């Protein structure tokens, strides 16, 4: 049977077709038929479905880059606010071991701000930018080349199919003409001669030869389209694998940088933890008393 100028075997007829790449769910095995659009008005070639997948992947990649860009901006703003807060004079007059811990805590904010700023810079250079620049504008141009090439092959196939249908109709007309003339001669309803019959038979034979030639040309064109479909769909499959692996690699880099940020942040807090463990109310009282004492002699009762 023929669907959109492509011939397929009838269900249950002919040898069972084996997948070209069994168990791989390869593009080259599942996009031979055309797909109707949601409204059912037009049909989308299977190869066009694969191209749209590539374009969608390009868009997803761009949106992921935009997402990381927004994440970077948040980190930059957070670092800026941490750095500003670290300079706050609040509680700057706290003394003793508690004062040392408080001073270190404020310093840790400055160190943490540096960590987040470095994280933001690395996000931009190692995740956002690679996602944005992977496969530049030339990629869409390359896809258009694929699209035009396969579309041209389908046009050739449609043209060959139309020639076959025209030749098939011409043969049917010639055969019918031959049949009518033969019947007229047999019942002597016409003055047609044997020569007329021979002429009609030659035309019928020629029409049959023309049909065979058109079918042969059609099959050659379909065979070429088939080979190009396999080659092109495999190339698109390879491109999709590369895209996914590229994104996977850089999203892993994101998680690595995130873990490193947590680790560095932890290192900025460790000195604070140590000083907090050393906070000693007795020691602070000693230091404060030594600095601020007003006299050690206690009052006594008055003598008479």
pLDDT tens-digit series, residues 44-84: 899 999 999 999 999 999 999 999 999 999 999 999 999 99
pTM for the whole structure: 0.82
Average confidence (pLDDT) over 251-259: 95
pLDDT band at 190 (very low <50, low <70, confident <90, very high): low
Distance, in Å, from the CA atom of 134 to the CA atom of 72, rounded to the nearest integer, reads: 19
Between 281-292 and 96-123, two packed helices, what is the crossing angle to 10 degrees? Answer: 120
Q: What is the token pair recorded at 244?
A: 């996914």
Assess contact for 78 and 126: CB atoms under 8 A.
no
pLDDT band at 143 (very low <50, low <70, confident <90, very high): very high
pLDDT tens track for 163-180: 999 999 999 999 998 888
User: What pLDDT does 189 receive?
Assistant: 55
Average confidence (pLDDT) over 210-219: 96
User: What pLDDT does 192 receive?
Assistant: 60
Beta-carbon neighbour count of residue 250 at 10 Å? 20
Write the DSSP symbol of residue 25: T
Distance, in Å, from the CA atom of 177 to the CA atom of 63, rounded to the nearest integer, reads: 66
Q: What is the token pair recorded at 35?
A: 């797909």
Assess contact for 184 and 196: CB atoms under 8 A.
no
User: What pLDDT does 173 receive?
Assistant: 93
User: What pLDDT does 288 receive?
Assistant: 81
Distance, in Å, from the CA atom of 145 to the CA atom of 150, rounded to the nearest integer, reads: 9
Between 46-86 and 194-277, two packed helices, what is the crossing angle to 10 degrees? Answer: 20
User: What pLDDT does 182 receive?
Assistant: 80
Q: What is the token pair recorded at 94?
A: 């706290």
């Amino acid at each position: 049977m023929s669907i959109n100028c492509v011939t397929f075997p009838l269900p249950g007829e002919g040898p069972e077709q084996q997948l070209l790449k069994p168990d791989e769910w390869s593009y080259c095995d599942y996009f031979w038929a055309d797909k109707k659009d949601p409204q059912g008005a037009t049909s989308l070639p299977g190869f066009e479905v694969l191209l749209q997948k590539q374009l969608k992947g390009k868009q997803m990649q761009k949106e992921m880059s935009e997402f990381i860009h927004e994440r970077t901006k948040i980190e930059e703003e957070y670092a800026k606010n941490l750095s500003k807060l670290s300079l706050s004079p609040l509680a700057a007059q706290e003394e003793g071991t508690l004062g040392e811990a408080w001073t270190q805590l404020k310093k840790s904010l400055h160190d943490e701000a540096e960590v987040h700023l470095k994280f933001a810079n690395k996000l931009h250079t190692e995740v956002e930018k690679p996602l944005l620049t992977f496969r530049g504008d030339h990629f869409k141009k390359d896809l258009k080349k694929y699209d035009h090439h396969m579309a041209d092959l389908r046009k050739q196939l449609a043209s060959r199919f139309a020639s076959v249908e025209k030749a098939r109709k011409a043969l049917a007309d010639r055969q019918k003409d031959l049949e009518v003339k033969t019947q007229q001669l047999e019942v002597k309803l016409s003055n047609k001669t044997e020569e007329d019959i021979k002429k009609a038979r030659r035309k019928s034979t020629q029409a049959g030869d023309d049909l065979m030639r058109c079918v042969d040309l059609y099959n050659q064109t379909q065979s070429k389209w088939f080979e190009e479909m396999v080659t092109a769909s495999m190339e698109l499959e390879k491109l999709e694998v590369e895209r996914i692996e590229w994104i996977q690699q850089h999203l892993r880099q994101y998680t690595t940088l995130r873990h490193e940020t947590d680790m560095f942040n932890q290192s900025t807090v460790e000195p604070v933890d140590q000083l907090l463990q050393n906070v000693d109310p007795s020691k602070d009282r000693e230091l404060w008393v030594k600095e601020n004492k007003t006299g050690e002699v206690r009052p006594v009762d008055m003598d008479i």
